[in-house]
Amino acid sequence: MTIRNLPVIAINLARRFARRTAHWWSVGARESRGITRRARRAAEQVGGAGGALATASQASVRAGIRASRRLDRFGEHVVTPIREERAVLRRIERIASGRAPIVLGPWISEVGYEVLYWVPFLRWFQDRYGIHPDRLMAVSRGGPSWWYAGIAARYVDVLSLYGSVQFAEQAAARRTAGDQKQGEPSQWERQIVADVCRRTGVSRPNVLSPGLMYRLFRHVWHGDRSLDFLLRHTEFPQLSAPRAPDDDWLPPTFAAVKFYTGPALPDTPDTRAQLRTCVARLSERMPIVTLDTGLGLDEHRDYLFGDVPGVLDLRGRMTPETNLGVQSRVVARASLFVGTCGSLAWLAPMLGVPTVGLYADDRHLSGHLYVARYAYRRMKAARFSAVDLAALAQVA
Amino acid sequence: MRRPFNRWRSRARALGESWRVQRDQWGVERDIERVAGSGEPLLLGPWTGEVGYEVLYWLPFLRWLVAAYRVDAQQVVAVSRGGAAPWYAGIAGAYVDVFDLVAPDAFARRSRALASQTGTSKQQAMSPLDDELVAAAAARLGYRPRVVHPSLMFRLFRAFWSGHASMSFLERHTRYARVVAPAVPTTGLPREYVAVKFYTARSLPADPPTRAAVRSMVMGVAARTPVVLLDPAVRVDEHEDFDLADIPNTTSAQPLMTPATNLAVQTALIAGARAFVGTCGSVAWLAPMLGIDTVAVLADAAFLHAHLHVGRRAFHRMPGAGAFSPCDLGAVTRLGLTVGS
């Protein structure tokens, strides 16, 4: 035994301790339920024997029921998430170990989750396991290669392997199958990894799939793990976008605007009218560059404001393979970002751009707003304000 | 060698932290169980702190406590201040108002002194003032009940507010429910109105731009609908009210209130309003529980993240709750929209 093995021994002992604790916990919970049942039966039997005795047994039954429920809840909300966390982290450790190249992705789902969770999670992964960027290859879609700068030395775009039509069809099929969040790697994801390896000449890589990140953080989104847990598995540094000569046409001061339909901002006549008013008023103060792509790569559709005076757009300045990279570069140059609360609205504060995210329904936003605000405060990001359209209707 | 050692060390630190949080929580739960499970009459309070914490955490916590420990409401007396009795319906069978025990002026003076001495207005421990209030309430009741002090709730939820406990932990120890408003005579008030309550806070500072924006906002609302201003009859904390009484089409509700009834009157007036607009805090958390659509105005959300998250989740899940819409004044200005237009 060398001193080098001590941490490994300690970890193995801790794991064995955790396994035994979990085992005894479930045994204890089972026993406690048995005791409660027996106590209830006993209480029923002695019910008529005397007031004091009956009251005492009822009190102990109640205490037993409370203890049993508490154990169940503790198991459900604490023990299960911790066991799942350990399982996921063990898989992540296996991926990080050795010298094989690691494919990060492929990321083919929502932009919001990518910027708010996936990229910070990868930054944590790279730093935590001390992996050199040369070993890492990020795979995403739409050209956001610079989001992965400092994490992975190589980037492959899914849209450089497949046409945008095929990508959109596969994405629609995935949504129809109910796999919006890339839970388990699908057949198509495995195909992407295989094609990426063929293209880059990488053989037998380890794959860090987004499904692992979703498994690790889903208990945070469901409310069973703390915010602190998420912040311990992510790193949020400020980002800076590369400058490109293609961006010289942008006005020196402008607001980047991106409004798209989704659960947070459903497409209704009222919403359209309110957004139009906002954009029209904003255009009186500064030029506006709208980031609508017209590409239809996902289920969201852009709200269009081309007829509002002073509004510029990016049409003709991007292709499916470059659309996200171009949009986010434009956001980085803006003095203000205004858009649907989601997607690039989570990225803009990280780029140092003050951001206003608008929504009409915050049912699915609450947890993300909570995370984002703490993360932004920690990374000293630009100011982020989420505004309910209902409030604007009342007071502005 | 260094990397595995650092990993091991940070894992041990995280484990130690989780253990400390769990141990603290179990400690508080044991204390709660000792009091609530005793079967003796209970005194809930005395609540002498901020209205916001009372509405958003204390009442739901008490609702959970009486349900979890099957406490008979007739065995329970709530002690709060300013006529908050309607909020405790279904939780406590009796209510004692602090202002029936101590004069409002003396209470305000002592509360401020205590806050400046301890550096917080939160009841983290039993204070001499709390001791006196409990003794006075016990003398009035004629028996000495066991005390469920607000410090139990503050200790229990501290880990959540600091981000170390999960939302489900808070939700397992709270029950959010609609609040029923009392019937209060509203002579002299318009039939249809918007209830407005603006006071200074860390989230809405008293700087000139904020004052101007709030004023402009209330003028805009009053131009469309009569406004009833809920400026209270007594001020017991460091918050100040915005002076809006000279705006046309506004009516102050102050004549309807006394220090001992002000919260009951405000509750009734909010419940009868078409909407509520006010500082994000205090009764802005109550209005959705009364079924009233609420615009909660703020200029700085820095101290509100956790509360906004709790409020949003609770109001979405509460049947019949009003819509809760936070409004960031800075964002409205940045959008080029004129507040109150």
Q: pLDDT for B27-84, tens place per residue?
A: 898 999 999 988 899 999 999 999 999 999 999 999 999 999 999 999 999 999 999 9
- A95 reaches B (C-beta below 8 A): no
Show which of residues 148-177 on chain A sit within 8 Å of chain B, judged by CB atoms: none
Q: Does residue B207 share a domain with residue B137? A: no
Neighbours of B131 (CB within 10 A): 12
Q: Does residue B111 share a domain with residue B22? A: yes
Domain assignment of residue B100, yes or no: yes
Residue-number span of the structural domain to which B297 is assigned: 194-334
Total domain count for chain B?
2
Instruction: Determine the Cα–Cα distance for residues A103 and B294; give it in Å rounded to an integer.
Output: 48
* Closest CA of chain A from B75, distance in Å: 16
Domain assignment of residue B229, yes or no: yes
H-type alpha helices, chain A = 6-45, 51-74, 80-96, 111-113, 119-128, 164-176, 187-200, 210-221, 227-232, 269-285, 323-333, 344-347, 366-379, 389-395
Amino acid (one-letter) located at B227: V
Amino acid (one-letter) located at A286: M
User: A-chain residues within 8 Å CB-CB of B1?
Assistant: 4
Residues of chain A with pLDDT below 70 are: 1-4, 20, 22-24, 26-55, 66, 179-180, 294-300
Q: Does residue B237 share a domain with residue B139? A: no
What is the structure's pLDDT at A69? 74
Class of domain A245-395: alpha beta
User: A-chain residues within 8 Å CB-CB of B17?
Assistant: 228
Instruction: Determine the Cα–Cα distance for residues A341 and A112; give it in Å rounded to an integer.
Output: 9
For residue A130, give the nearest of B3, B22, B160 by CB distance: B3
Show which of residues 330-349 on chain A sit within 8 Å of chain B, judged by CB atoms: 336, 338
% chain A with pLDDT above 90: 56
Q: Does residue B164 share a domain with residue B198? A: no
Domain assignment of residue B61, yes or no: yes
ipTM of the complex: 0.88
Show which of residues 310-329 on chain A sit within 8 Å of chain B, judged by CB atoms: none
Domain assignment of residue B180, yes or no: no
Domain assignment of residue B74, yes or no: yes
Q: Does residue B211 share a domain with residue B139? A: no
Greatest extent of chain A over all pairs of C-alpha atoms, in Å: 91
Range picked from A151-155, B297-301, B333-337 for highest mean pLDDT = A151-155
- A390 reaches B (C-beta below 8 A): yes
Q: Does residue B205 share a domain with residue B168? A: no
Domain assignment of residue B230, yes or no: yes
Q: Does residue B19 share a domain with residue B167? A: yes
Q: Does residue B212 share a domain with residue B324? A: yes
Which residue is closest to B165 within chain A, CA to CA? A226
Question: B330 vs A336: CB contact, 8 Å cut-off?
Answer: no
Question: A391 vs B325: CB contact, 8 Å cut-off?
Answer: yes
Q: Does residue B205 share a domain with residue B166? A: no
What mean pLDDT value characterizes chain B?
91
pTM summary value = 0.87
For chain A, the structural domain boundaries read 3-96, 102-232, 245-395
Which residue is closest to B275 within chain A, CA to CA? A394
Q: Does residue B94 share a domain with residue B59? A: yes
Are the C-beta atoms of A96 and A129 separated by less than 8 Å?
yes
What is the structure's pLDDT at B15? 75
Most A CBs within 10 A among B170, B305, B338, B339, hence the mutation to make, goes to B305
User: How big is the A-B interface in CB pairs under 8 Å?
Assistant: 150
Please determine, for residue B117, whether its predicted confidence score (pLDDT) is greater than 90. no
Q: Which residue has the higher pLDDT, B6 or B271?
A: B271
Instruction: Determine the Cα–Cα distance for residues A26 and A215; give it in Å rounded to an integer.
Output: 23
Q: Which residue has the higher pLDDT, B122 or A22?
A: B122
Q: Does residue B145 share a domain with residue B223? A: no
For A235-245, what is each residue's pLDDT tens digit? 998 888 988 77
Q: Does residue B11 share a domain with residue B74? A: yes
For residue A366, give the nearest of B39, B293, B309 by CB distance: B309
**Closest to B62 measured CA to CA, from B77, B81, B48:** B77
User: A-chain residues within 8 Å CB-CB of B297?
Assistant: 395
- Looking up residue B323, the CATH number of its domain turns out to be 3.40.50
